[in-house]
């Protein structure tokens, strides 16, 4: 059982370049999330998706976009990377979200991104 996988594990990127972080889950969870984690700060929600075909903005969505074409995949794209997007990015999933209650979120291993 893989759970949630993320790729790449780490990446160094030049400012201005486009980058897509990949996230795949095999638990058939409806809800998926992208967070960034910075030293001294809590996890901050970038975007989320409550079900395939829908997405929503979190606390810090600027500079990022997502898509949810199917249940399993939830890629995060940085259209034009800036140094302030240097962070560790975690993808997470939960069985459901919102109206169905509060479900435990399970996290992927993370992507360490450095923008120079």
Partner 1 sequence: GQNIDQPTEMTATEGAIVQINCTYQTSGFNGLFWYQQHAGEAPTFLSYNVLDGLEEKGRFSSFLSRSKGYSYLLLKELQMKDSASYLCAVSDSNYQLIWGAGTKLIIKP
Using CB under 8 A, list all residues that contact partner 1: 40-45, 48, 58, 90, 97-99, 101-102, 104-110
Q: Where are the beta strands (DSSP E) in the chain?
A: 4-7, 10-13, 19-25, 31-37, 44-49, 56-57, 64-66, 76-78, 87-94, 106-107, 111-115
Cβ–Cβ < 8 Å for 91, 8: no
Query: Least distance to partner 1 from the beta carbon of 110, Å?
Result: 6
By beta-carbon proximity to partner 1, the closer residue of 16 and 59 is 59
Residue whose pair of structure tokens reads 């890629």 in the numeric block: 75
By beta-carbon proximity to partner 1, the closer residue of 14 and 42 is 42
Query: Least distance to partner 1 from the beta carbon of 41, Å?
Result: 6
By beta-carbon proximity to partner 1, the closer residue of 58 and 75 is 58
Query: Least distance to partner 1 from the beta carbon of 20, Å?
Result: 20
By beta-carbon proximity to partner 1, the closer residue of 2 and 101 is 101
Distance CA 60, CA 56 (A): 11
Burial of 72 per CB tally in 10 Å (0-12, 13-18, 19+): middle
Query: Least distance to partner 1 from the beta carbon of 17, Å?
Result: 25
């Amino acid at each position: 059982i893989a759970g949630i996988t993320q790729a790449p594990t780490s990446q160094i990127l030049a400012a201005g370049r486009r980058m897509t972080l990949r996230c795949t889950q095999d638990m058939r969870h409806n809800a998926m999330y992208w967070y960034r984690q910075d030293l001294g700060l809590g996890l901050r929600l970038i975007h989320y998706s409550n079900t395939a075909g829908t997405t929503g903005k979190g606390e810090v969505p600027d500079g990022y976009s997502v898509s949810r074409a199917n249940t399993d995949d939830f890629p995060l794209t940085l259209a034009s990377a800036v140094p302030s997007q240097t962070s560790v990015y975690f993808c997470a999933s939960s069985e459901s979200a919102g109206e169905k209650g509060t479900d435990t979120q399970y996290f992927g291993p993370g992507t360490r991104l450095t923008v120079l």
